[in-house]
Amino acid sequence: MGGVSDQAPPRIPAELRADVETLWDYHDLHHELRPTDVGIGLGSHDLGVATCAGELYHQGMFPLIVFTGANAPTTVERFPRGEAVHYREEALRLGVPDRVVLVEAEARNTGENITLTRRLLEEREIEVRSVTLISRPYQQRRAYATCKKLWPEVDVVCASRRQPLDEYVESIGDVDRVINMLVGDTQRITLYAERGYAIRQEVPAAVSGAYRRLSEAGFTNRLIP
C-alpha cells in the first residue's frame, strides 16, 4: 500500500503532486452557481460539505437543505452518529434554521444518497426541478453522473468549498486518505458507468495516466476489485 509519512502540516510529496493535481482538477466540474430548489449535502468524511451548504443557504442559493448519509468505514469514527446527523448539527451551528434542514440518515452510497433523498422529498410533496449537489471537491463529477442517471429530469448544479488542494489536504489532515479517495473516485467514473449506476463521461488521457501511476504507487485502498 502506498504511504506518505505523517507530517504536520501534511503535504503531498513532490513526486506525486502533478498526478494528484490532475485528478483534483478533473473531478471539480467548475459549475457556475445559481439558485435551485434544494441543496443536497452528500455524506462523507468531510465536514466542509455542511459548511458549504450553510454558506450557500445564507447566500440565498436554495430555501431547503437535505443532508444525506449514514456511515461508511471511512466515516464511522469521525461521525459516530451518522454523516447526515453531524452535518445538520454543523449547519445549525452556522445559523441555518432548523426548519429548513431535512435529514436522510440511511444512505450508504452515492446512488442511495440520490434515490433516498428523492423519495424523502416526494413523500413530503416538495416539488423539485433543480438541485445543488454539495460534496467534497473530488466527488463532484461522480455525484453529477449518478444524479443524471437516477434523477434525469432535474437540473443539477455541483458545489464544494472553494479550497486550494494543499489547504484541503491540511483540513482533512491525512494525505493518504485524500489520494486514495481521488484514485477511488476516478475508477468509479468508468466502472459505475459500465455497471449502469451513472452516465458515461469522458476520461482524458492525462487523467487515465495519473490514475494509473498513483495506483501503481500503491494508492489502492478505495479501489473496487
Residue 133, strand partner residues: 40, 158
Give the mean pLDDT of 37-66.
96
Q: What is the three-class DSSP state of 53? A: helix
Cα–Cα distance, 81 to 88 (Å, whole number): 11
CB atoms within 10 A of CB 14: 7
Q: What is the three-class DSSP state of 133? A: strand
Q: What is the CATH number of domain 38-159?
A: 3.40.50.620
**pLDDT tens digits, residue range 125-167?**
999 999 999 999 999 999 999 999 999 999 999 999 988 999 9
Per-residue pLDDT, 171? 87
Q: What is the three-class DSSP state of 57? A: helix
CB atoms within 10 A of CB 69: 30
Cα–Cα distance, 102 to 122 (Å, whole number): 13
Closest alpha carbon to 20 in 162, 189, 168: 168
**pLDDT tens digits, residue range 90-107?**
999 999 999 999 999 999
**pLDDT tens digits, residue range 4-16?**
544 457 899 999 9
Strands (E), 20-154: 38-42, 65-68, 101-104, 130-134
Cα–Cα distance, 1 to 217 (Å, whole number): 8
Per-residue pLDDT, 71? 81
The full set of domain ranges for the chain reads 14-27+165-216, 38-159
Per-residue pLDDT, 7? 46
Confidence of residue 211 (pLDDT cuts 50, 70, 90): very high
Can you read off the three cell numbers belonging to residue 148? Answer: 443524471
- Does the global pTM surpass 0.85? yes
- Sign of torsion over alpha carbons 140, 207, 197, 221: negative
